Amino acid sequence: MKYSLLALFVSAALLPLSASARHYTFNSALIDGGKGNVDVSLFNEGLQLPGTYNVTVTVNGNTVDSDVAVPFRLSGEGKQRTLHPCLTAEQLTRYGVDISGYPALSADAQCADPESIPQATADFDFNRQQLSLVFPPQAMLPVLKGIAPETLWDDGIPALMLGWDASTQHSEYRGPWTYRSDSSYVRLQPGLNLGPWRLRNASTWQKNSSQPGKWQSAWTYAERGINSLKSRLTLGESYTTGNVFDSVPFRGVMLASDENMVPSDQRDFAPVVRGIARTQARVEVKQNGYTMTSTTVPAGPFEINDLPSVGSNGDLQVTVLESDGSRQEFTVPYNVPAVALRRGYLKYSVAGGQYRSSLDNVETAPVMSAELAYGLPWNLTGYGGVQTAEHYQAGSAGLGIMLGVWGAVSVDMTQARSQRYAQDWQNGQRWRLRYSNTLDTGTSLSMVSEEYATEGYGGLSETLDTWCDSHSGCDRYGSYSSLRQRNRTSVYISQPLGGMGTLSLNGSRQTYHNDRTSNSSWGASYSTSLWGRAFLSLNWSRNQRTDRNGRQYDDSLTSLYLSLPLNGWSSENPVYATYQMNNRVHGDASHELGMYGDTLDRRLHWDVRERYRDGAAGGDKASSALYLDYRGAYGEMTGNYNYSSHQQLSGVGLKGQMLVTGDGVTSGQPQGDTLALVEAPGVSGAQVGSWPGVRTDFRGYTTLGY
């Protein structure tokens, strides 16, 4: 404002005179040519004008805001008068001040005085334009990791949203015989935000040449947060939390702790699927019979780390459909780490409704699940639960302990009573040991071992899935579910090697009581950066399976991947040359040379490869591949093409997200479930954030993920 600039000018001009013992007065007629009626009485007293100034704000010595407009008012008597800030309660909360215990700082206060807090001070350095606030520790909010103070939470704006991921693949083989196949995949995630309520759905549609298209809904539910309970209420189709028992799909109501309302270091983690594709392949991941994702990956090691969280337990069934018609199938055990909660922290869930199987012909049955975990003194955590349904009852109890530098370990026992279709009631026990640790060296270790003491133990899903509406369905599924697990163990170790890369090891094994069938999976990977932008990766995986007749099947794959920049080590848009080798123990070896890079301001990613297979027949020894990925303001488009003399494979994909609000329809790239609407009316094509291709649309709007 005008007075602020005038005060700054006069103060700066007369600063050298302020130390003089003489008293100066100023004639307002000499300011601005005498045209204005300027009140300079405050200057004559050595004071500054009240008004709004752009200042830097510090709290207890830490800068919390800069170039923020703060109103100042003059308070005090006589020459003791000084400028005092006029802050809002929202500002104080954002700066980390707990205003709840001070009535003078009500939540709707627009001119709160920081010094109304005992022992608090506010000092305004006019010459430096810096406001220094000091508060006692008891007046400060706890420092939280990854979460804002609750007073700043809001429900967001009302919005309709739709996320989509669609892809289609066409393959054609021409050799001694001709074979064509087509496959399509669509995943839709519509939603509605209205006040505190969130309506969500996830539906997939899959079609293969030999099968008709089929829709499947993974979930449809309405939910809302209950902030006072740090919990979330869910109505509809969802999954039990799976912290004590295996996660179960159900249709009903659930009230459970919401760890998004607590600091991030107490949140659940999401599973990561790693594997090696021998060729360009489509990877399908399922949990509890529902398809979580279906994506195309190039040959070599792959990692899928954006799976939706649908429960804390439930193995992931991974199928790698290779372009040459072969397939890999393996299981990724997915379990929560050892149960270890802070003292006084309560984690719970209560759910009730109908069992919701992924099989079409399973009878509906009432189901109830309750789980509880509580942080006890002496670094102990007690947890347990009950799970009941028609034909099934189970109870569980366990104890976890934090061992300091030795990590955390938990042990629990589950007693189950189950009745499968056309069988008598059976009793069984399961003992489970979970261990997790992260060392100062960066070593991350997790291990889960489940021992099924008797053949009679069964989980809720595997029991209820035998009760079908048709006998054919029950017999078909019963032949699979007749296997009774004896042991299941999985281990994962990751070790960063400083500047020399990262080494990780993983393994899992399953055995059964009443059958010689067993499944084992082992893997190792090493990756490192060389000279900044070069990259080296070594991967090994082995899958072993023994069938009920004692026959063993062994599939082992080793891969080497190397990439080097071709256009300099410091280029903003580097182009890389790559070499990849895949060697299958009981198969052929392949060698692949390629180039990839980004163009169009990183919006278009391209990747070309030439592949040679040692053991391939005739003209299939050599093949070529092209991959494209364009990330634009309105979504993402992918394309792939693979060619050899006997085979052709092509595919396209579309991904995107649409938001409908009071400001209109805004489309953008897929960026998760939590979105921010960015608006700059009239400014089209402006880059937003650092994500490639995220730009404002023709109206000046776009979305940005949180």
What is the CA angle 163-166-170, rounded to 5? 175
What is the CA angle 616-619-624, rounded to 5? 90
- The answer to whether residue 11 scores a pLDDT higher than 60 is no
The overall average pLDDT reported for the chain is 82
- The answer to whether residue 368 scores a pLDDT higher than 90 is yes
pLDDT in tens, 219-267: 899 999 998 899 999 999 999 988 888 889 999 999 999 888 877 555 4
User: Both tokens of residue 532?
Assistant: 């900044």
Question: For residue 20, what pLDDT is reported?
Answer: 45
Taken in order 37, 43, 49, 53, is the CA torsion positive or negative? Answer: positive
Question: For residue 77, what pLDDT is reported?
Answer: 72
> What is the SS3 assignment for 671?
coil
Q: Which of 40-44, 124-128, 191-195, 529-533 has the highest mean pLDDT?
A: 191-195
- The answer to whether residue 213 scores a pLDDT higher than 50 is yes
CB 528 within 8 A of CB 536: yes
* The amino acid at 543: N
Residue 268 banded pLDDT, cuts 50, 70, 90: very low
* The amino acid at 282: R
Question: For residue 354, what pLDDT is reported?
Answer: 93
Question: For residue 34, what pLDDT is reported?
Answer: 53
More confident of the two residues 538 and 574: 538
Residue 689 banded pLDDT, cuts 50, 70, 90: confident
- The answer to whether residue 30 scores a pLDDT higher than 70 is no
Residue 680 sits at φ, ψ, to 5 deg, of -140, 75
Question: For residue 18, what pLDDT is reported?
Answer: 43
- Comparing CA positions, the residue from 262, 246, 439 lying closest to residue 336 is 246
- The answer to whether residue 269 scores a pLDDT higher than 50 is no
CB 383 within 8 A of CB 336: no
What number of other Cβ atoms are within 10 A of residue 274's Cβ? 17
Question: For residue 300, what pLDDT is reported?
Answer: 74
Cα separation, 209 vs 214, whole angstroms: 12
- How does DSSP classify residue 140? B
User: CB-hemisphere CA count at 13 Å for 690?
Assistant: 0
pLDDT in tens, 604-652: 999 999 988 876 665 568 889 999 999 999 999 999 999 888 888 999 9
Cα separation, 234 vs 447, whole angstroms: 31
**pTM metric for this prediction:** 0.69
What number of other Cβ atoms are within 10 A of residue 360's Cβ? 11
- Biggest CA–CA distance in the chain, Å, is 109
CB 283 within 8 A of CB 263: no
- The answer to whether residue 470 scores a pLDDT higher than 70 is no
- How does DSSP classify residue 3? H
CATH fold of the domain at 52-143: Ubiquitin-like (UB roll) (3.10.20)
Question: For residue 95, what pLDDT is reported?
Answer: 86
User: Both tokens of residue 189?
Assistant: 């995630």
Residue 489 banded pLDDT, cuts 50, 70, 90: very high
Cα separation, 180 vs 173, whole angstroms: 6
- The answer to whether residue 426 scores a pLDDT higher than 80 is yes
CB 316 within 8 A of CB 285: yes
Q: Summarize the confidence of residues 131-153 as an average pLDDT.
A: 76
User: Both tokens of residue 425?
Assistant: 């009631």
Weakest mean pLDDT among 203-217, 567-581, 636-650:
567-581
Strands 647-661 and 290-297: unpaired
User: Both tokens of residue 211?
Assistant: 């099968």
Tell me which residue has tokens 């991030």.
Answer: 264
- Comparing CA positions, the residue from 497, 245, 528 lying closest to residue 395 is 245
Burial class (CB in 10 A: 0-12, 13-18, 19+), 3: middle
CB 175 within 8 A of CB 200: no
Q: Would you mind telling me the total number of residues written for the chain in this entry?
A: 706
> What is the SS3 assignment for 405?
helix
Residue 691: C-alpha distances to residues 565, 602, 628 (Å): 22, 9, 17
Q: Summarize the confidence of residues 169-192 as an average pLDDT.
A: 88
Question: For residue 647, what pLDDT is reported?
Answer: 85
Sorted by where each begins, the domain ranges of the chain are: 1-49, 52-143
* The amino acid at 215: W
pLDDT in tens, 506-521: 999 988 887 778 888 9
Q: Summarize the confidence of residues 676-689 as an average pLDDT.
A: 90
Residue 480 banded pLDDT, cuts 50, 70, 90: very low
Cα separation, 321 vs 173, whole angstroms: 15
Q: Summarize the confidence of residues 297-318 as an average pLDDT.
A: 67
User: CB-hemisphere CA count at 13 Å for 351?
Assistant: 34
Burial class (CB in 10 A: 0-12, 13-18, 19+), 245: buried
CB 542 within 8 A of CB 554: yes
Sequence-distant (≥ 6) Cβ neighbours of residue 595 within 8 angstroms? 566, 575, 576, 577, 578, 607, 608
pLDDT in tens, 73-88: 887 776 667 888 888 8
Q: Which residues are registered as beta bridge partners of 605?
A: 598, 629
> What is the SS3 assignment for 528?
strand
User: Both tokens of residue 163?
Assistant: 């996320």
- Comparing CA positions, the residue from 33, 30, 53, 52 lying closest to residue 43 is 30
pLDDT in tens, 87-122: 888 888 888 888 877 877 765 667 888 888 888 888
Q: Summarize the confidence of residues 393-414 as an average pLDDT.
A: 89
* The amino acid at 287: Q
Burial class (CB in 10 A: 0-12, 13-18, 19+), 557: buried
Cα separation, 417 vs 463, whole angstroms: 10
Q: Summarize the confidence of residues 47-71 as an average pLDDT.
A: 86
Tell me which residue has tokens 């700059």.
Answer: 680
- The answer to whether residue 340 scores a pLDDT higher than 80 is no
Percent residues over pLDDT 70 in the chain: 84
Question: For residue 236, what pLDDT is reported?
Answer: 95
Percent residues over pLDDT 90 in the chain: 33
- 319: part of which helix (H) or strand (E)? strand 316-322
- Comparing CA positions, the residue from 167, 149, 21, 164 lying closest to residue 93 is 149
CB 94 within 8 A of CB 88: no
- Comparing CA positions, the residue from 371, 343, 366 lying closest to residue 355 is 366
DSSP one-letter string for 425-483: -EEEEEEEEEEEEE-TT--EEEEEEEEE-STT---HHHHHTT-BSSHHHHHHHHHHHT-
- The answer to whether residue 359 scores a pLDDT higher than 90 is no
- Comparing CA positions, the residue from 191, 108, 188, 106 lying closest to residue 156 is 191
Q: Which residues are registered as beta bridge partners of 297?
A: 281
Q: Summarize the confidence of residues 450-465 as an average pLDDT.
A: 86
Residue 358 sits at φ, ψ, to 5 deg, of -80, -15
More confident of the two residues 184 and 31: 184
> What is the SS3 assignment for 590?
strand
Cα separation, 133 vs 538, whole angstroms: 54
> What is the SS3 assignment for 122?
strand
User: Both tokens of residue 491?
Assistant: 């281990």
